[in-house]
Amino acid sequence: MIFSVQIKVMPLKELLDPQGKAVLGGLQNLGILAISDVRVGKNIVLQLEAATAEEAKQIAEEATKKLLANQVMEMYEISIS
Amino acid sequence: MIFSVQIKVMPLKELLDPQGKAVLGGLQNLGILAISDVRVGKNIVLQLEAATAEEAKQIAEEATKKLLANQVMEMYEISIS
């Protein structure tokens, strides 16, 4: 069975997010002043073959820990559909 | 009122996603073979001051169209909480 798995990877709240700060500056230069904070992370969508949703989750966790997220600097959230 | 707005920006389905292909190759090198496709996009979280959720959505749309997404190559999805 093929599962579609979505993984959001975001910089940890405690850390600076230079990309987010750059985007915030860009928005202000465009005159969009209602936005006070921007954080930029990744949204990764996988197609994954597994017997059950449980197994799909495990494979996605393994992929995330080994390659997709750097847990020293990032947090992640996995959802399966 | 402060709204937290999440914007997912993904490469259009019709287009190649070289970053996704690179990640897929990396996963295969790690021996994770159950994953057949990877697409990598952005997940952007904004803090935004607006009177209503409707207004927050409009500001987020404007920011996305002007700066966050390139509509020639990317699609986006906005959700507000």
ipTM: 0.92
Nearest residue of chain B to residue A69 (CA atoms): B23
DSSP state of A7: E
DSSP state of B68: I
* Model confidence at A81: pLDDT above 90: no
Predicted model pTM:
0.93
* Model confidence at A12: pLDDT above 90: yes
**Which residues of chain A does B45 touch, with a Cβ-Cβ cutoff of 8 Å?**
10, 38-39, 41
Q: What is the 3-state secondary structure (H, E, C) of A9-72?
A: EEECCCCCCHHHHHHHHHHHHCCCCCEEEEEEEEEEEEEEECCCHHHHHHHHHHHHHHHHCCCC
Mean pLDDT of A6-18: 95
Nearest residue of chain B to residue A64 (CA atoms): B27
- Rounded CA-CA distance B55/B61 in Å is 10
